Amino acid sequence: MFQENCLKGQKGLITGGSSGIGLEIARVLIAHGAELTITGRDTSKLAHAKSELGDVLTVAGDVRQADDVAQTVDAHMARFGQVDFLINNAAGNFLCPIEAMSENAFRSVMEIVAHGTFLFSKAVFPHMKKRGYGRIINTGATYAWGQASYVAHSGAAKAAVLNLTRSMAVEWGHYGILVNMIAPGPIDQTEGMKRLMADPKKTDMLLNMMPVPRMGKGSEIGLAALFLIHPLSSYITGIALPVDGGMSLITPGLIPPGFGPKA
Ligand code: COA
| Chain centroid to CA 82 | 21
Number of domains in the chain: 1
Instruction: State in Å: Cα 47 to ligand 1 middle.
Output: 23
Residue 111 domain-assigned (yes or no): yes
Tell me what pLDDT residue 118 has: 98
Per-residue HEC secondary structure of 43-58 comes to HHHHHHHHHHHCCCEE
Tell me what pLDDT residue 202 has: 87
Closest protein CA for atom 41 of ligand 1: 92
Instruction: Judge whether 134 and 177 are in contact, CB under 8 Å.
Output: yes
3-state secondary structure of 199: coil
Residue 18 domain-assigned (yes or no): no
Instruction: For the chain, 263 residues long, give each residue's pLDDT as a single digit of tens.
Output: 689 999 999 999 999 999 999 999 999 999 999 999 999 999 999 999 999 999 999 999 999 999 999 999 999 999 999 999 999 999 999 999 999 999 999 999 999 999 999 999 999 999 999 999 999 999 999 999 989 999 999 999 999 999 999 999 999 999 999 999 999 999 999 998 888 888 888 889 889 989 999 999 999 999 999 999 999 999 999 999 999 999 999 876 666 666 666 77
Atom of ligand 1 nearest to the CA of 93: 44
C-beta of 94 in contact with ligand 1 (< 6 A): yes
Instruction: Judge whether 89 and 17 are in contact, CB under 8 Å.
Output: yes
As a whole number of angstroms, the distance between CA 207 and CA 261 comes to 18
The Cβ-side half-sphere exposure at 172, using a 13 Å CA radius, reads 28
Buried b (16+ CB within 10 A) or exposed e, 212-247: eeebbebbbbbbbbbbbbbeeeeeebeebbbbbbeb
Residue 115 domain-assigned (yes or no): yes
3-state secondary structure of 230: coil
Instruction: Judge whether 225 and 27 are in contact, CB under 8 Å.
Output: no
Tell me what pLDDT residue 123 has: 98
Residue type, 81: G
Residue 195 domain-assigned (yes or no): yes
For 56, counting Cβ atoms within 10 Å of its Cβ (0-12 exposed, 13-18 middle, 19+ buried), the class is buried
Residue 153 domain-assigned (yes or no): yes
Tell me what pLDDT residue 17 has: 98
**E-state strands within 118-232:** 134-139, 177-184
C-beta of 159 in contact with ligand 1 (< 6 A): no
Residue 211 domain-assigned (yes or no): yes
Closest protein CA for atom 17 of ligand 1: 104
Tell me what pLDDT residue 213 has: 95
Residue 180 domain-assigned (yes or no): yes
CATH number at 89 reads 3.40.50.720
Instruction: Judge whether 76 and 83 are in contact, CB under 8 Å.
Output: yes
Which residue range(s) make up the domain with 133? 27-35+83-249
3-state secondary structure of 36: strand
3-state secondary structure of 38: strand
As a whole number of angstroms, the distance between CA 191 and CA 122 comes to 27
C-beta of 93 in contact with ligand 1 (< 6 A): yes
What CA dihedral angle connects 97, 94, 141 and 231, to 10 degrees?
Answer: 160
Instruction: State in Å: Cα 133 to ligand 1 middle.
Output: 36
Instruction: State in Å: Cα 75 to ligand 1 middle.
Output: 28
Instruction: State in Å: Cα 244 to ligand 1 middle.
Output: 25
Tell me what pLDDT residue 197 has: 86
Phi-psi region of 97 (alpha: psi -120 to 50; beta: other; left: phi over 0): beta
Residue 196 domain-assigned (yes or no): yes
